[in-house]
Amino acid sequence: MAKVTYFQLLKRAQEQLRSANRDESVAQYLLLEGQNWRYTELIQHYREPVPVAVQERYRETLERVCAGEPAQYVLGHAPFYGREFHVTPATLIPRQETEELVAWVLTVPTPTLSLLDVGTGSGAIAVTLKAERPRWQVTASDISEAAVQVAQTNARALEAPVTFVTGDLFAPVAGERFDIVVSNPPYIDREELAVMDESVKKYEPQQALFADDHGLDFYRRFAAELPTVLTKHGRFFAEIGYRQGSAVQEIFERAFPQATVTIRQDINGHDRMVCVQL
């Protein structure tokens, strides 16, 4: 393989991604993550020749991304709230909008409480909350055993002792009560398939993406079962679809007329989160 500098390698990768109609910024992301460098370190190495083994490994990851595979799955990890989380096709890729949900939960002033994360996936929400609030007692559930295994790996790696259980919604914690229930549930309407990113549809777990009743099914299920899980003045936090604010608010206001139901927008000005305080 011909000698090439890191600068040349990066420029060629950007051109390859453009030709494949992919985001060319991924080229730098793959290079930084593959070398475990910050951007300033990349600049320092710009004019240095790239070892053949590094070129080959980079070429392989780039080809997978050009074919449509998400870069986070190719690398096997993704950033979330300042930490790196192991991810596989058994889990959704953690996203910035969910970081905003975590930040909202962290505004709860109680120093000690019990919290349940439903549909934990990679464990991004549960592990982050436990890492940020070590005195909180955190439990996380998922219907997917494969996802729970990924979440357990992340909890160990990030030294966040979370209790993990496997099962649908509240079934694995029957009889227990929590001060907070948080969830990033499936909420995409299958009618939105035509406008979704192809890589999301092809690679991310379908059962973590789509929900019946135009994406509202899980919110109706939560509304029906929360009284058996939350403590007297407990709170429910969840991520929602950007078009679902009014519908989700109506679901919870009908179920809990005395509760305070708040819809919050994300940094892009879209309805993205709900909090129900009993």
Name the band, by pLDDT with cuts 50, 70 and 90, for residue 192.
confident
User: Which residues make up each annotated binding site for S-adenosyl-L-methionine?
Assistant: 119-123, 142, 184
| Structural contact between residues 177 and 231, judged by C-beta atoms closer than 8 angstroms | yes
CATH class belonging to 89-277 = alpha beta
What would the pLDDT profile of 45-74 be if each residue is shown by its tens digit?
A: 999 999 999 999 999 999 999 999 999 999
| Structural contact between residues 151 and 164, judged by C-beta atoms closer than 8 angstroms | yes
What would the pLDDT profile of 114-153 be if each residue is shown by its tens digit?
A: 999 999 999 999 999 999 999 999 999 999 999 999 999 9
**pTM (two decimals):** 0.93
Instruction: Please report the pLDDT score of residue 193 as a whole number.
Output: 76
Name the band, by pLDDT with cuts 50, 70 and 90, for residue 1.
low
Residue 148 to residue 181: CA distance in whole angstroms: 18
Instruction: Please report the pLDDT score of residue 195 as a whole number.
Output: 72
What is the chain's mean pLDDT, rounded? 95
Mean pLDDT of 201-217: 91
Residue 112 to residue 32: CA distance in whole angstroms: 38
User: Which residues make up each annotated binding site?
Assistant: 119-123, 142, 184-187
User: Which residues make up each annotated binding site for substrate?
Assistant: 184-187
Name the band, by pLDDT with cuts 50, 70 and 90, for residue 2.
low
Helices (H), the chain: 6-19, 26-35, 39-45, 52-66, 71-75, 96-105, 124-132, 145-157, 198-203, 212-215, 217-225, 245-255
Kindly report the length of the chain: 278
What would the pLDDT profile of 150-168 be if each residue is shown by its tens digit?
A: 999 999 999 999 999 999 9
